[in-house]
Structures are given as C-alpha cells and as structure tokens.
C-alpha cells in the first residue's frame, strides 16, 4: 500500500538549474499529467506518493581492516501494475531525492511500454573506483542483505544501472539465494547467461533509443540517412549507439565522455572509435577529430542530440544553444525544467527518457519471464518482441501527443499516469 504523507513532496514552482531537484521535477510532471487527464486530487496524490522508502547503513570492512559505513536506499514507488522494477546504482552523488525520482520514472516507464511492472530504484552513495574488487563484493552483498526482505521475483526486481553490471547482479542473486536456501534467479535481471540471463539484454537500451530516433524522423517526414547525431556519453548505452545509428545511414559527428568531447563533421567510424577507446580509455584523441569543450557538445551542428550520461545536463543555457531540433533522452532525467521549457519554446522535439530508454526495462521483463518459465528464448524471438514492444509504445505516445496537443514529454508522462491511475482505481483502497 502507499506510504504515509511524510514521503510526499509538493512541487514548489519552477526550480532554477542551480537548485535542480529531480524529485520535485518528476512530481511536477505527474501533477501536470493528472491535470491533463482530469484525475481526482486524491488519486493524483496516491500516484505521487512512494509506497516505501528504505534507507540502510551499509558497513564494509576494507582491505586495510578499517570499517567504512556507506548509505544505501531502495525506494518502491508504485506496484499497482506489478512488482517494482528498477536499477541499482553505485555513485558518489546518489541521494534520496535522486532515487525517489528515478523510482517514479520507472513506474511511468513500465506503464508507457505497457509491461506488468511497477517502479522502484536503489543505490549506494559510494565512489566504486575507490574500492578494490573484494571491497566492492562485500559492499554489494551487505547492501543486498539489508534490502533482502523487500525484494523478490514477485515483489521488487533490481537490475544494473550506473557503475553496476552483470557481476554485481550475480553477487546480489547469490546473496538472496543463500539467505532463502534456494536459487532465486528471478530476483534480479541483467545477469550473465550462465545463471539465468538472457540473449539480447546487453545493448537493449541502445536498440530502443535507435527505434525511437528513427521513428521520430520518419513521423516528421525526414529520411534518417545522412542525418547528423551527437551523443553525450560513451558507456553501456552511448557506445552501442554509435554503431547502431551509423549502420542505419546516420552520421555521428560528436561524442563526449567524462574526459572530454570530440567533433568529427564527416562522421565517426564506430570500429576505429571502439579500438581507440580500448587503447586510450577516452574518446579524446580519436584520429582527425577536433577537441571541443564537453559543455559545448550540443552546440555542434547536428540534427539529433542524444544525452546518454547523467541527469540534469540539458540546462537552460545548454537548451538555448542546442543545435539539434530533435533530442532523444537515452539518459534518465537529462533535462531540467528550465531546459525543457526552452526546448519547447524553440520547437525542439524531445523524446522523453520514460519512452526513449525503456528498451532496457523491456529486456529485463523478458529475462524475468524466461527465469520464471525456465525457458530461454532464441535471439531472434527476443529481438522481434523488443522491437514490437518499443514500436507499439512509440506509436501510441505519438498519437496521444497529437490528440492532446501537448509536448512529447507531457504525452508520455500522461500515458503512464493514465495506466497507473486505471490500475489503482480498479484495485481500490484497502481497507
């Protein structure tokens, strides 16, 4: 059931970029969707309020013998449509508001793509680069122990996120299995194939972003071939995008990572960039590229901009100088409220994160279903179902955008909120 009113944060008008709070931002979006749908105020409040907010201390014995205590969270926002679903991130910037916002995003995202999940998110405030492998394993297993009673295949299913991967998911799955006395493969997704993973999960988010990019251009009557793209982030999502978009005739003319940004007007060769990154551990230094300030990446002449890194990067200033007329949000919450307002004024179409990057959660749903069935799908079955699910979601939101006469973001949020509201209403209020 929903939590108490102590968990509710009421939006307080427009936030400045300097005061960007992702939780207030997502609450404002849900409130606006509720108004568009003419939902009862009490129903909107139920949708906004997280069901459960868990904060835990995560003590870890370092290799030196010293004890370090970190803080972790697992927030379950809404489970009216199914078990909670959402990643776990390890990052030094993690905080409660960020995790709460991301959990609400997941509620909406799973509803937008119409899969039987709710929304949840987790994280630990830690810089994993400062931990040895054994310290990282101890941190992961202790965090998994702390949240164990709140997760499970029919309750809440974590997945990888920033600085977590298949190995971290393996440790979590093993910890929960040891606690429960039997294998619990379905407790997490994003696992290696050998222990309940699925063919096709890796790169699924990038595939979904690609589908949304191509569909947007085609719905606007534009030929994707030759269109110029800039991508912020060269990690689990951004790196595959360079190849996927190039293979479809587009030109990736700019890429940025944590160490800098490059501009290549003639287009980047994915294979050369992959090898260069393996050797140099950065995109900077790519042969023939011009180095540009990272904050100027979106100024590079382009048709499509894809933020695929952290949240809150498209601020008012960035939106004002944005060269592209289409933004496809591969990252979670990359656009601030003021940045979004500027893009709307400039008629920049933004395919929102709750649709654009939902390929990952669709893939997680497929993995979970296979774990419950004990049956591994063939790769072509996985790929076909992923494309069908993403294309259906995109087409539905596009149609609603035109029907309601609102922005792409407002249409996507409203589609998700509408489906959550329907489930919440049908289930009623206990007692």
Instruction: Please give the Cα distance from 91 to 93 (Å, whole number).
Output: 5
- Contact partners, residue 247, CB within 8 Å, separation at least 6: none
DSSP sequence for 187-244 = G-SS--GGGT--TT-TTHHHHHHHHHHHHHHHHTT---TT-EEEEE--STTHHHHHHH
The first and second tokens of residue 179, run together, are 């606690």
Cβ proximity of 233 and 331 under 8 Å: yes
Instruction: Please give the Cα distance from 40 to 42 (Å, whole number).
Output: 5
The first and second tokens of residue 392, run together, are 């259906």
Instruction: Catalytic residue, from 2, 85, 109, 121: name it.
Output: 121
Helix, strand or coil, per DSSP, at residue 9:
coil
Cβ proximity of 87 and 158 under 8 Å: yes
Cβ proximity of 386 and 81 under 8 Å: no
Torsion angle in degrees (nearest 10) through CA of 287, 290, 293, 297: -90
Torsion angle in degrees (nearest 10) through CA of 257, 229, 352, 256: 10
Active site annotation includes 121: yes
Cα 109 to Cα 3, 102, 140, 142, 413, distances in angstroms:
21, 10, 26, 29, 8
Residues with a known catalytic role:
121
């Amino acid at each position: 059931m929903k939590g108490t009113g102590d968990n509710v944060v009421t939006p307080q008008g427009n936030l400045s970029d300097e005061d960007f709070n992702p939780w207030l931002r997502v609450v404002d979006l849900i409130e606006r969707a509720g108004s568009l749908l003419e939902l009862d105020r009490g129903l909107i409040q139920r949708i906004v309020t997280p069901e459960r907010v868990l904060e835990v201390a995560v003590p870890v014995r370092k290799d030196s013998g010293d004890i370090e205590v970190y803080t972790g969270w697992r927030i379950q926002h809404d489970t009216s449509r199914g078990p909670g679903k959402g990643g776990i991130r390890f990052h030094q910037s993690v905080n409660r508001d960020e995790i709460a916002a991301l959990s609400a995003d997941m509620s909406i995202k799973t509803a937008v793509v119409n899969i039987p999940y709710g929304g949840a998110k987790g994280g630990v405030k830690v810089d994993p680069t400062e931990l040895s492998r054994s310290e990282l394993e101890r941190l992961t297993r202790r965090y998994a122990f702390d949240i164990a009673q709140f997760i499970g295949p029919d309750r809440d299913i974590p997945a990888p996120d920033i600085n977590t991967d298949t190995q971290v998911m393996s440790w979590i799955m093993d910890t929960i299995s040891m606690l429960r006395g039997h294998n619990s493969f379905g407790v997490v997704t994003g696992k290696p194939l050998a222990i309940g993973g699925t063919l096709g999960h890796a790169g699924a988010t990038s595939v979904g972003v690609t589908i949304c990019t191509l569909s947007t251009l085609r719905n606007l009557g534009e030929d994707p071939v030759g269109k110029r793209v800039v991508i912020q982030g060269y990690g689990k999502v951004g790196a595959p995008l360079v190849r996927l978009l190039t293979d479809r005739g587009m030109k990736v003319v700019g890429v940025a990572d944590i160490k800098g940004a490059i501009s290549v007007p003639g287009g980047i060769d994915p294979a050369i960039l992959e090898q260069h990154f393996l050797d140099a551990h950065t995109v900077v230094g790519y042969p023939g590229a011009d180095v540009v300030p990272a904050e100027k990446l979106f100024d590079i002449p382009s048709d499509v901009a894809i933020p695929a890194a952290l949240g809150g990067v498209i601020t008012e200033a960035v939106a004002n100088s944005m060269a592209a007329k289409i933004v496809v949000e591969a990252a979670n919450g990359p656009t601030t409220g003021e940045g979004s307002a500027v893009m709307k004024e400039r008629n920049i179409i933004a395919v929102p994160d709750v649709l654009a990057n939902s390929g990952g959660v669709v893939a997680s749903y497929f993995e979970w279903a296979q774990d419950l069935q004990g049956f591994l799908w063939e790769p072509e079955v996985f790929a076909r179902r992923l494309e069908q699910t993403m294309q259906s979601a995109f087409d539905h939101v596009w149609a609603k955008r035109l029907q309601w006469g609102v922005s792409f973001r407002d249409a996507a949020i409203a589609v998700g909120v509408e489906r959550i509201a329907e489930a919440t209403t049908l289930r009623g209020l206990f007692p």
